[in-house]
Amino acid sequence: MSQKIAITGMGIISSIGNNVEENFISLQSGKHGISDIEMFETRHAGAIKTGEIKLSNEELVQQLQLDEDNNVTRTSLLGMIAAKEAVESAGISDINGYRTGLISSTSVGGMDITEKYFYSYEDFPEKQKYIDAHDAGNSSLAIAGYLGLKGMVSTISTACSSAANAIMMGAKLIKNGVLDRVIVGGTDSLSKFTLNGFNTLMILTDSYNTPFDNNRKGLNLGEAAAFLVLESEEMVKKENKKVLAYLSGYGNANDAHHQTASSENGQGAFLAMQQALKISGVEKEHIDYINVHGTATPNNDLSEGIAMIRIFGENQVPEFSSTKAFTGHTLAAAAGIEAVFSILAMQNSVIFPNLNFKTKMEEFDLTPVTELKEKNINHVLSNSFGFGGNCSTLIFSKS
| Residue numbers annotated as active site | 160, 293, 329
Q: Is 203 left (phi over 0), alpha (psi -120 to 50) or beta?
A: alpha
Under a CB-based contact definition with an 8 Å cutoff, are residues 221 and 204 in contact?
Answer: yes
- CA distance readout (Å), 216 to 84, 192, 213, 363: 36, 24, 5, 13
Rounded Cα–Cα distance for residues 219 and 130 (Å): 31
Rounded Cα–Cα distance for residues 387 and 230 (Å): 26
Three-state DSSP string of 58-75:
HHHHHHHCCCCCCCCCHH
Under a CB-based contact definition with an 8 Å cutoff, are residues 219 and 387 in contact?
Answer: no
Q: Is 296 left (phi over 0), alpha (psi -120 to 50) or beta?
A: left
Residue 358: other Cβ atoms inside 10 A: 9
Rounded Cα–Cα distance for residues 339 and 337 (Å): 5
Residue 221: other Cβ atoms inside 10 A: 27
Q: Which residues contact 97 (CB under 8 A, 6 or more apart)?
A: none
Rounded Cα–Cα distance for residues 173 and 361 (Å): 41
Outline where 90-179 has alpha helix (H). Answer: 111-117, 136-147, 162-175
Under a CB-based contact definition with an 8 Å cutoff, are residues 268 and 389 in contact?
Answer: yes
Task: Tabulate helix, strand, coil % of the chain (nearest 5).
Answer: 40, 20, 40
Q: Which residues contact 310 (CB under 8 A, 6 or more apart)?
A: 265, 266, 270
Residue 240: other Cβ atoms inside 10 A: 7
Q: Which amino acid is at 30?
A: G
Rounded Cα–Cα distance for residues 385 and 187 (Å): 16
